[in-house]
């Protein structure tokens, strides 16, 4: 990781700042953090990522157990540390019922000794209830019924051949609807299976080892036969992978959206008894009546049409083993050490890191946060949330939206009608910032989790199962409920943000409204280059290749004039090619898969930069000068942005990321975005034709 420090090249441009620097502790802290992350031996016009992050990379080794590490992870970890303290406080006084549930769940999760003592028994007992697993014992083929098995798996949200759920109808965003889709693959996406063989591909090989090991731990006797049976399962998964839609094709929702009624599924996918299974699922789990005329949508019609043939051609034993494997795989992480070892061995090949090095409490907290995050959210925000950050973020959203509106007249490629629609859509974007005030109301939170049963007399495995069932039922029960536009689906400590196309809303939880993204003590250049860019990024998602398909009411509904749409696609194609040419550390970026995120990154930087210039026009003389950093504030804006992406990762992680992640790798996010932005080149006086100031620039917004 170590890089020799070259003498500073003559091309490194710095400016002579003469104003008195700020010497408060906050200023000194942020200045030293920025300075330590830089590698000033690198010419910023050659490789801005290395310039901004070289120092950070040298001083941040990958923490053991992690496959990647960045400021995002560090902040998430510190948020989780706060939650850990809250959950481990030795008192249950003043805790809400929901908080107590979180505590019980957490305590049973960290008690690995108790989990180890119970061995495989909890899973074996459950497996028996859902029809057993052929690979484990003398299995009676005549007792296997495809549809009955599907039905038994429903309460656990395990869908080996197709998925079924409830979500907002993309064409009627005020209502929820039944959505039927692909099953999802154990390894994530089809790329891990298609054109790969177990013999030649390390990941498939390790996956088969993992399957065999888990089956053996559960009692399968002959290892060779077990391996053979698991290989059959893997071959079946491969067939399902082949008929799955590539991730990049899923982005075209206009094309993929198909609405029908439940009865139509019978012709489409005859292997499943839809007319009986689905009504029973809703009645049993959600107490909702669903008939054969129930509207259903799918984004995976071709897949649904094809999987029945695979079912018909597969022997019952293989089907039974596949069902069982999907069930077992989804619960392995709730078992004890031998199972975790098997999982870890596979994880090492997949991601190149050793999960055993991650402290148990961190894994438990991830689950508590994702399931009971709102229950403990009150305690988190009381401890950590700086109330001024909410009003500052609200102000930032107003400025960034104004910046988008101001930029629109400059988009000469748009016709006036489409431009007006874009402006209306931007005005209609609402925001949610910090956290839902309702979580401060104990009665509200208790009510929210009232159907989640966490019995203190039961063990971690049962709690895990209980959580899965709770989530399943909760989703199904949404079917007849109105869509709540402002319902939080992200917990307060989360270090992330999102745009929802069906709600036309941007969301920034408390977790991200902190340093390094934002602080009331930071100079504005750092805040605009931090949270400002995050806000700009999320807003631009409403106008990326996917978001642009939705109108101001959140409906999948074309509002683009034909010619303007053709021009948009041409502009987007430029980014597809640009990012598709990036290959950092042996990982080739997929320009189509990452297009939406790249459009959002590019738009986000421009919007935040312009908003910052507006702020300077009004308040320029008030900008704080940082000590010992000889950079202009425009330069600091770009440094702040780039340093959000300083990260280290394993080669395995990088290869995995480009196949599954819609975000470009960190270095591509910095290089791609800034080399497209003429104001960046001006700020650093990058000569025309230098790597960071190429003649060909891509720009959508």
Min dist CB 529 to Zn ion, Å, is 17
- Paired tokens of 92: 């249950």
- DSSP 3-state of 500: strand
The verdict on whether omega for the bond into residue 572 sits within 30 degrees of 0, i.e. cis, is no
CB of 647 to Zn ion, least distance (A): 16
Cβ-based nearer residue to Zn ion, 109 or 400 = 400
Q: Closer to Zn ion by CB, 494 or 650: give it.
A: 494
β pairing state of 68-70 and 647-649: antiparallel
Q: How far is the CB of 154 from Zn ion (least distance, A)?
A: 32
List phi, psi (to 5°) of 185.
Answer: -110, 150
Q: Whole-number minimum distance, CB 600 to Zn ion, in Å?
A: 5
- Shortest Å, Cβ 539 to Zn ion: 11
The rounded distance, in Å, linking the Cα atoms of 552 and 555 is: 7
In this structure, how many other beta carbons lie within 10 angstroms of the beta carbon of residue 338?
15
For the record, the structure tokens of 578 come out as: 């640009």
- Mark 542-581 with x for binding to Zn ion (rule: CB under 5 A) and - for no binding: ----------------------------------------
| Sites for Zn ion among residues 182-241 (CB under 5 A) | none
Q: Exposed, middle or buried: residue 607 (CB in 10 Å: 0-12, 13-18, 19+)? A: buried
User: CB-wise, 454 or 595, nearer to Zn ion?
Assistant: 595
Neighbouring-strand partners of residue 432? 507
Which of the residues 47, 431, 436, 601 is marked catalytic?
Answer: 601
C-beta of residue 574 within 8 angstroms of C-beta of residue 524: no
For the CB of residue 31, give the shortest distance to Zn ion in the complex, in Å.
Answer: 29
> Whose CA is closest to 373, among 464, 492, 472?
492
Q: How far apart are CA 367 and CA 376, in angstroms?
A: 12
Q: Which residue has the tokens 């540390």?
A: 81
How many residues touch Zn ion under the rule CB under 5 A: the total is 2
**Please, which residue, 160 or 603, has the CB nearer to Zn ion?**
603
For residue 463, report the phi and psi dihedrals to the nearest 5 degrees. -65, -40
Q: Least CB distance from residue 3 to Zn ion, whole Å?
A: 30
> 580-599 mask for Zn ion (x: CB under 5 A)?
-----------------x--
3-state secondary structure of 180: strand
Query: Which of 359, 360, 383, 391 minimizes the C-alpha distance to 493?
Result: 383
| Radius of gyration of the chain measured on its C-alpha atoms | 26
Q: Which of 241, 234, 157, 230 is nearest to 195 (CA)?
A: 241
Residues 596-615 that bind Zn ion (CB under 5 A): 597, 600
**Nearest CB to Zn ion, comparing residues 392 and 594:** 594
Cβ proximity of 147 and 272 under 8 Å: yes
Instruction: Give the nearest distance from C-beta 662 to Zn ion in angstroms.
Output: 8
Query: Which of 625, 619, 602 is CA-nearest to residue 679?
Result: 602
Q: Do the strands 295-298 and 172-182 form a parallel or antiparallel pair, or are they unpaired? A: parallel
Q: How many residues does the chain have?
A: 701
Residues with Cβ < 8 Å from 293, sequence gap 6 or more?
Answer: 261, 262, 263
Contact by Cβ (8 Å): 482, 174: yes
For the chain, helix, strand, coil in percent to 5 are 60, 10, 35
Nearest distance from C-beta of residue 590 to Zn ion, angstroms: 16
Residues with Cβ within 8 Å of 500's Cβ and at least 6 positions away in sequence, in order, are: 507, 554
Distance in angstroms (rounded) separating the CA atoms of residues 257 and 296: 11
CB nearer Zn ion, residue 587 or residue 600: 600
| Closer Cβ to Zn ion, 373 or 547, answer by number | 547
Smallest separation (angstroms) from Zn ion to the CB of 496? 9
430 is catalytic: no
Q: At what angle do helices 48-59 and 25-37 cross, to 10 degrees?
A: 100
Q: Which residues pair with 164 in a beta bridge?
A: 180
Annotated catalytic residue, options 431, 538, 545, 634:
538
Q: Which is nearer to Zn ion, 324 or 547 (CB)?
A: 547
Phi, psi of 123 (to 5 degrees): -75, -40
Active site residue 201: no
Closest to Zn ion by CB, 115 vs 600, is 600
- Where in the sequence numbering do the catalytic residues fall? 538, 601
> What are the residues binding Zn ion (CB under 5 A)?
597, 600
């Amino acid at each position: 990781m170590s890089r020799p420090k070259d003498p500073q090249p003559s091309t490194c441009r710095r400016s002579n700042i003469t104003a008195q620097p700020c010497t408060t502790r906050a200023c000194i802290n942020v200045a030293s953090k920025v300075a330590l992350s830089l590698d000033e031996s690198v010419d910023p016009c050659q490789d801005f990522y290395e310039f901004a992050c070289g120092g950070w990379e040298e001083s941040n080794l990958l923490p053991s157990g992690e496959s990647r590490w960045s400021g995002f992870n560090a902040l998430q970890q510190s948020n989780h540390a706060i939650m850990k303290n809250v959950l481990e406080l030795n008192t249950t006084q003043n805790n809400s019922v929901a908080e107590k549930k979180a505590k019980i769940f957490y305590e049973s999760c960290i008690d690995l000794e108790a989990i180890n003592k119970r061995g495989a028994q909890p899973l074996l007992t459950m497996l028996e209830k859902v029809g057993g697993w052929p690979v484990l014992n003398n299995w009676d083929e005549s007792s296997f019924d495809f549809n009955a098995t599907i039905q038994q798996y429903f309460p656990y949200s395990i869908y080996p051949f197709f998925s079924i759920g409830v979500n907002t109808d993309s064409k009627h965003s005020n209502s929820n609807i039944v959505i039927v889709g692909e099953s999802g693959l154990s390894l994530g996406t089809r790329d891990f299976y298609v054109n790969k063989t177990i013999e030649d591909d390390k990941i498939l090989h390790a996956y088969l080892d993992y399957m065999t090991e888990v089956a053996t731990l559960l009692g399968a006797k002959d290892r060779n036969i077990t391996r053979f049976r698991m290989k059959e399962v893997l071959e079946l998964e491969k067939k399902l992978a082949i008929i799955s839609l590539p991730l990049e094709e899923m982005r075209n929702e206009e094309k993929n959206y198909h609405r029908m009624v439940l009865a139509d599924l019978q012709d489409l996918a005859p292997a499943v008894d839809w007319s009986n299974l689905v009504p029973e699922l809703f009645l049993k789990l959600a107490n909702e009546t669903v008939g054969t005329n129930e509207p259903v949508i799918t984004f995976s019609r071709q897949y649904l049409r094809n999987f029945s043939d695979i079912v018909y051609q597969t022997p019952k034993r293989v089907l039974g083993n596949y069902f069982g494997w999907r069930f077992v795989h989804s619960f392995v992480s709730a078992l004890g050490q031998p199972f975790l070892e098997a999982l870890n061995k596979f994880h090492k090949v997949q991601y190149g890191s050793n999960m055993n090095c991650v402290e148990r409490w961190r894994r438990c907290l991830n689950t508590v946060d994702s399931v009971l995050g709102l229950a403990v959210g009150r305690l988190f925000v009381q401890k950590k949330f700086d109330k001024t950050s909410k009003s500052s973020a609200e102000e930032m959203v107003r400025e960034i939206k104004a910046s988008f509106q101001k930029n629109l007249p400059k988009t000469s490629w748009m016709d006036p009608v489409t431009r007006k629609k874009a402006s209306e859509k931007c005005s209609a974007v609402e925001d949610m910032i910090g956290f839902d005030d309702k979580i401060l109301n104990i009665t509200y939170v208790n009510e929210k989790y009232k159907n989640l049963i966490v019995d203190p007399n039961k063990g971690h495995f049962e709690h895990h199962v209980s959580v899965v069932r709770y989530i399943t039922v909760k989703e199904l029960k949404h079917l007849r409920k109105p869509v709540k536009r402002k319902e939080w689906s992200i917990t307060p400590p989360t270090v992330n943000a999102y745009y929802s196309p069906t709600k036309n809303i941007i969301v920034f939880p408390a977790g991200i409204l902190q340093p390094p993204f934002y602080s009331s003590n930071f100079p504005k250049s750092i805040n605009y280059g931090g949270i400002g860019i995050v806000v700009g990024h999320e807003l631009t998602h409403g106008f990326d290749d996917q978001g642009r398909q939705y109108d101001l009411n959140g409906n999948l509904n074309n509002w683009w004039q034909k010619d303007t749409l053709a021009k948009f696609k041409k502009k987007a194609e430029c980014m597809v090619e640009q990012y598709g040419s990036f290959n950092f550390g042996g990982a080739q970026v997929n320009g189509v898969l990452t297009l939406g995120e790249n459009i959002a990154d590019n738009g986000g930087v421009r919007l935040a930069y312009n908003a910052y210039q507006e702020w300077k026009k009004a308040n320029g003389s008030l900008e704080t000068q940082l000590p010992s950093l000889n950079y202009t504030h425009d330069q600091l804006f770009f440094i702040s942005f780039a340093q959000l992406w300083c990260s280290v990762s394993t080669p395995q992680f990088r290869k995995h990321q480009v196949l599954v992640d819609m975000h470009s790798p960190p270095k591509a996010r910095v290089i791609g975005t800034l080399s497209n932005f003429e104001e960046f080149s001006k700020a650093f006086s990058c000569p025309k034709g230098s790597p960071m100031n190429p003649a060909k620039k891509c720009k959508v917004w």
